[in-house]
Amino acid sequence: MAAQVEPPMPEWMSPYTPTATTTDMRILIAENDSILANGLSCSLCHDSYAVDVVSDDSSADSALQCQSIDLLRQRNTLHPCLF
């Protein structure tokens, strides 16, 4: 019997390779939907962003006071952090 050769994997199924090696941008995701927050954070982490996730506004306020955050994603809105 001849050995079976598997067809090549389609490009969209190949392992993910981030385009950037590192980034200095830190992103805070304030999202109470854990599934959405997880999907966003995983995607951003794959692109080498530093990501923090909180589930409510008070936690977001605390994170903004304690850490240097460059971008805040809150309720479908992006806010550049200028402080």
Q: What is the pLDDT of residues 22-51, one digit of tens each?
A: 567 888 998 888 898 898 899 888 888 889
Of the candidates 55, 3, 2, the residue with the CA atom closest to the CA atom of residue 28? 55
* 23-77 classified as CATH 3.40.190: no
For residue 83, what pLDDT is reported?
47
Residue 54 and residue 60 in contact, taking contact as beta carbons nearer than 8 Å? yes
For residue 53, what pLDDT is reported?
92
Q: What is the spatial distance between Cα 21 and Cα 49, in angstroms, rounded to a whole number?
A: 10
Q: What is the spatial distance between Cα 25 and Cα 57, in angstroms, rounded to a whole number?
A: 21
Q: What is the spatial distance between Cα 39 and Cα 34, in angstroms, rounded to a whole number?
A: 8
Tell whether pTM > 0.75: no
75 or 61: whose pLDDT is higher?
61
